[in-house]
């Protein structure tokens, strides 16, 4: 049993089995999550605090073959001989497949409806083409250094890129001929961005955090506390201020107009209350953390209560809103076996049923006096759409490539960048103007009214302005941001009052909890609690008496069909804000058209999020896109998310991790480099993630550790700079594995510090000794020195009390041992740049015409020692005599003396004195 006590005294207890993995984790409030394992130590089941159990089955190779959800739904998986998941059968029987070619490159993905995506590669294993389900092709081109220099999309739009001598992006050009130039400082940070006449400038503090971002319309400043948390974020002097508790949870927020919000939390970090504008929302949860109750407390007492129930699989089942004894609203949700929404029973709008196709797309929504129908092409683009109200965008649709040219009676035109520049229906025409950064800057409505939009230097809209006939501002709305969430807007007209609207959000979620409007200066306000639907869109507004003040009913893709009551909100799908002047929804990085279910400009990330760069999401009842950058699954209504999401995630088309590089400018290298090398790190990352079920984040969990760094391998004492290609080849062929992030940062070989490390080294002396070992033709000692840099770190030995850190350390151990086995089996020594005139080491070899050589390969005894070196560093124990006898049956005194000198330096020995690091001579 181990415990972790947080800064506020909350105790989390961990109970492990004899092999080390946890079998029970008890939260500070007593909730217990239990784990079981099969005979080979692989996870077999997880039981949450409510008793809901998810079970998994693995084959002899350790690959997942079956998962049974708490509701009994079964997912089945198939794998290739090398462990890639290549087939998935969902609970409805739909089958998704991925086909692989040589070098484990994915060449096609097939959906349950038969649609197929195909990938093409060049001889360097770089992605060169993506062919979508409709046969359209997106192409990528590279320069001799392997950098992406051009891509041509499905519609012929050409994008181009340029780089500096260090390989960093300095220019990108779009299809309309507009360019963005980036200027960088000596550390590679962007300090200036130019696009046409627009210039943005950036400044950083000593910790590389942005403290200033300025353009022609705004000056954005950030201030941080000692722990790096944002305490002030101001645009043009309008600041959003924040304060935090000892556990890093935000407890206070103040908007530029002075609106304050105060959060309180329980021992598990879930919000228990929000106090805002003199009203309080109180939250209650079940043992699994799902929000089950919410109270609105005002001067009238308990004005309203929200009660929620959940399925065993963690899906929202029922929402009931009561005002005293009266039921104000009730929604019940039903689901298909694969997790997609199938039915909604709504007290206000009535029952609805959804017909969902095999690829998860909604083809029909039916209810009393309600009918929606949708057709799709093989790539998922909507080809016909009908919904209530006979809108002018309903009916069949036409496309040029993936560009929508007509929807019913509405016509669209695009510029060379693929952005909508006009929309016309019934003689009425809207015109749109764009910047080089693909930001909508102005709109002319059919009435001839011009609206212009202003953005800060990081792309957030900070104002929209209606201009009169003279070009003067006749109406303005200013926006203040809380990160990527809209905190406040102030609306005004010349000579009129200023009206502020403030939104309070659930912590770490895109769900609004409250909306408060007030006229600045007169002391009155209008408060509404916000109730959200399954995905987090506002559905109802309650006033402070608990009465229903407003509700809205939308079609599947977000078009507003009807609204009731006297109150409303511009908020729509998570992350979206409705602009009445255009009918579009501002979605942070793009604008969304709810009539078409598509964005009006391309995704800045290209094909990385989705095979269609203009699509919203495949099924808007299951996915959201709060940033305009790609779909995500809504957060379950836990913490204080409230009112939506769920535990079971529907089976989206891409049931596996997307091939690295395939949709993202082609950086996939697969097995171009030997297994166990830095160049093969993507393959190793996926192997670890699949085996341990945990994601690797290079900024938080692990770092790819060169057992001998580039400086060690390259520095041969000769003047001059190594050619880029040879340097890159040397680095990518270096032996490497994934080490735990914190340990890696504390290693003497990380960075350039001259301060003495616990091991007795500093960065220069560590590298000196490693280089000496390599030049002595001893790759074994070079790697053991690397491990010795970890052995002296406090906490590196044994099982960490925190199961998350322990899992990361286990992943690092596994990666290290796999690396040793891979480089041993590969039969090639450690590559390095020799000193001028040095002979090729005994047993080594030259490497092509690069000038590099290799040490001798690892022997069986070397590999054994390297495995034992890691074990010693992690346990602090010497290998036993029986282990040594495997490779040293008759050790000489010299053999043992060599081992005593440096192959192992157990932490129980006196530490090396500062200033006298190990001397290999």
Reported as a pLDDT band with limits 50, 70 and 90, residue 699 is confident
Residue with tokens 């051009």: 150
- Average pLDDT on 101-123 reads 92
* High-pLDDT (> 90) share of the chain, %: 72
pLDDT tens-digit readout, 233-261: 999 999 999 999 999 999 999 999 999 99
- Would you state the structure tokens that stand for residue 533, as one six-digit string? 């639907």
Q: Of 740, 743, 824, which Cα lies nearest the Cα of 779?
A: 824
Residue whose C-alpha is closest to residue 769's, from 920, 900, 897? 920
**Kind and range of the H or E run holding 791:** helix 779-791
pLDDT band at 658, cuts 50/70/90? Answer: very low
Higher pLDDT: 655 or 337? It is 337
Q: How far apart, in whole angstroms, are the C-alpha atoms of residue 530 and residue 540?
A: 6
128 φψ region: left (φ > 0), alpha (ψ -120 to 50), beta (else) = alpha
Per-residue pLDDT tens over the stretch 178-220: 999 999 999 999 999 999 889 999 999 999 999 999 999 999 9
Confidence class for position 638, pLDDT limits 50, 70, 90: very low
Q: Check residue 399 and give its pLDDT.
A: 98
Cβ 403 vs Cβ 136: under 8 Å: no
**What pTM was computed for the model?**
0.74
CB 831 within 8 A of CB 707: no
pLDDT at residue 646 is higher than 60: no
Sheet holding 852-854, edge to edge: 831-832, 852-854, 845-847
Under a CB-based contact definition with an 8 Å cutoff, are residues 96 and 653 in contact?
yes
How far is it, in rounded angstroms, from Cα 3 to Cα 28? 10
The structure tokens listed for 659 are 């091939």
What is the per-residue pLDDT for 671?
54
Residue spans per domain, the chain = 1-98, 678-903
Question: Bigger pLDDT: 710 or 201?
Answer: 201
Q: Taking all residues of the chain, what is their mean pLDDT, rounded to a whole number?
A: 89
Buried b (16+ CB within 10 A) or exposed e, 298-323: beeeebbbbebebbbbbbbbebbbbb
State the pLDDT at residue 800.
67
pLDDT tens-place string over residues 750-767 = 876 777 877 788 888 999
């Amino acid at each position: 049993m181990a415990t972790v006590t947080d800064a506020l005294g909350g105790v989390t207890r961990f109970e492990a089995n004899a092999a080390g993995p946890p079998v029970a984790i008890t939260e500070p409030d007593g909730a217990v999550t239990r784990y079981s394992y099969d005979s080979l130590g692989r996870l077999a089941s997880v039981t949450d605090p409510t008793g809901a159990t998810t079970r998994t089955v693995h084959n002899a190779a350790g690959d997942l073959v079956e998962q049974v959800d708490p509701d009994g739904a079964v997912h089945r998986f198939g794998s290739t001989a090398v462990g890639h998941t290549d087939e998935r059968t969902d609970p409805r029987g739909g089958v998704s497949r991925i086909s692989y070619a040589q070098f484990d490159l994915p060449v096609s993905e097939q959906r349950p409806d038969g649609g197929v995506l195909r990938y093409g590669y060049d001889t360097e294993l770089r992605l060169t083409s993506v062919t979508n389900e409709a046969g359209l092709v997106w192409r990528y081109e590279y320069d001799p250094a392997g950098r992406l220099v051009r891509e041509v999309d499905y519609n012929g739009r050409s994008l181009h890129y340029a780089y500096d001598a260090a390989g960093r992006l300095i220019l990108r050009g779009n299809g309309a001929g507009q360019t963005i130039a980036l200027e960088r400082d000596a550390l590679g940070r962007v300090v200036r961005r130019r696009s046409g006449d627009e210039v943005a400038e950036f400044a950083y503090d000593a910790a590389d955090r942005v403290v200033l971002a300025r353009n022609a319309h705004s000056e954005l400043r950030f201030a941080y506390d000692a722990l790096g948390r944002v305490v002030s974020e101001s645009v043009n002097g309008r600041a959003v201020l924040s304060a935090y508790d000892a556990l890093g949870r935000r407890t206070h927020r103040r908007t530029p107009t002075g609106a304050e919000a105060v959060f309180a939390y329980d021992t598990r970090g879930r919000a228990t209350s929000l106090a805002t504008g003199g009203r309080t929302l109180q939250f209650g949860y079940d043992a699994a953390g799902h929000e089950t109750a919410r109270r609105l407390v005002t001067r009238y007492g308990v004005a309203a209560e929200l009660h929620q129930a959940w399925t065993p699989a963690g899906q929202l089942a029922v929402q009931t809103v009561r005002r005293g004894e009266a039921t104000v609203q009730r929604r019940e949700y039903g689901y298909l076996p694969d997790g997609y929404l199938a039915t909604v029973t709504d007290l206000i709008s009535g029952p609805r049923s959804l017909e969902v196709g095999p690829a998860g797309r909604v083809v029909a929504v039916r209810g009393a006096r309600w009918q929606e129908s949708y057709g799709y092409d093989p790539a998922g683009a909507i080809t016909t759409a009908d919904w209530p109200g006979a809108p002018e965008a309903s009916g069949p649709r036409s496309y040029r490539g993936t560009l929508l040219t007509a929807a019913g009676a509405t016509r669209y035109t695009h510029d060379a960048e693929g952005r909508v520049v006009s929309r016309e229906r019934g003689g009425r025409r809207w015109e749109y103007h764009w910047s080089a950064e693909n930001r909508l800057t102005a709109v002319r409505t059919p009435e001839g009214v011009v609206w212009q939009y202003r953005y800060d230097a990081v792309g957030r809209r900070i104002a929209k302005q209606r201009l009169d006939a003279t070009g003067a501002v006749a109406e303005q709305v200013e926006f203040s941001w809380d990160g990527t969430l809209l905190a406040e807007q102030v609306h005004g007209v010349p000579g009129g009052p200023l009206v502020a609207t403030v939104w309070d959000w659930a912590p770490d979620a895109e769900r609004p909890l409250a909306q408060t409007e007030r006229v600045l200066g007169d002391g009155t306000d209008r408060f509404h609690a916000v109730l959200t639907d399954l995905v987090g869109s506002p559905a109802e507004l309650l006033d402070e008496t608990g009465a229903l003040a407003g509700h809205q009913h939308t079609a599947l893709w977000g078009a507003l069909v009807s609204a009731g009551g006297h109150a409303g909100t511009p908020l729509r799908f998570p992350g979206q804000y409705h602009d009445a002047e255009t009918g579009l929804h501002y979605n942070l990085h793009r604008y969304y058209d709810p009539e078409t279910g598509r964005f009006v400009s391309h995704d800045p990330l290209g094909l990385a999020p989705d095979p269609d760069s203009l699509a919203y999401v495949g099924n808007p009842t299951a996915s959201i896109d709060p940033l305009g950058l790609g779909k995500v699954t809504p957060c379950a209504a836990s913490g204080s998310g409230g009112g939506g999401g769920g535990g079971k995630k529907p089976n989206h088309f891409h049931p596996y991790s997307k091939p690295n590089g395939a949709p993202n400018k082609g950086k996939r290298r697969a097995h171009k480099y030997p297994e166990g090398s830095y160049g093969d790190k993507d393959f190793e990352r996926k192997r670890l993630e699949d085996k341990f079920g945990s994601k690797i984040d290079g900024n938080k969990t692990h770092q790819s550790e060169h057992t001998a760094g580039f400086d060690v391998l390259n520095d041969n004492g000769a003047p001059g700079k190594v050619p880029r290609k040879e340097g890159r080849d040397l680095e990518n062929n270096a032996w490497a594995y994934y080490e735990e992030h914190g340990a890696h940062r504390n290693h003497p070989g990380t960075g350039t510090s001259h301060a003495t490390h616990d091991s007795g080294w500093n960065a220069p002396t560590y590298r000196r000794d490693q280089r000496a070992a390599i030049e002595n033709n001893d790759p074994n000692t070079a790697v053991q020195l690397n491990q010795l840099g970890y052995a002296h770190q406090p906490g590196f030995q044994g099982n960490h009390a925190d199961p998350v850190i322990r899992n990361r350390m286990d992943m690092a151990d596994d990666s290290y041992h796999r690396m040793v086995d891979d480089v041993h089996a590969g039969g090639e020594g450690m590559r390095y740049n020799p000193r001028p005139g040095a002979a090729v080491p005994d047993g080594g070899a030259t490497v092509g015409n690069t000038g590099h050589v290799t040490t001798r390969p690892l022997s069986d005894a070397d590999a054994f020692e390297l495995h034992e070196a890691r074990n010693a560093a992690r346990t602090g124990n010497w290998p036993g005599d029986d282990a040594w006898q495997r490779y040293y049956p008759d050790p000489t005194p010299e053999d043992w003396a060599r081992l005593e000198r440096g192959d192992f330096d157990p932490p129980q020995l006196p530490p090396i004195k500062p200033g006298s690091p190990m001397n290999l001579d």
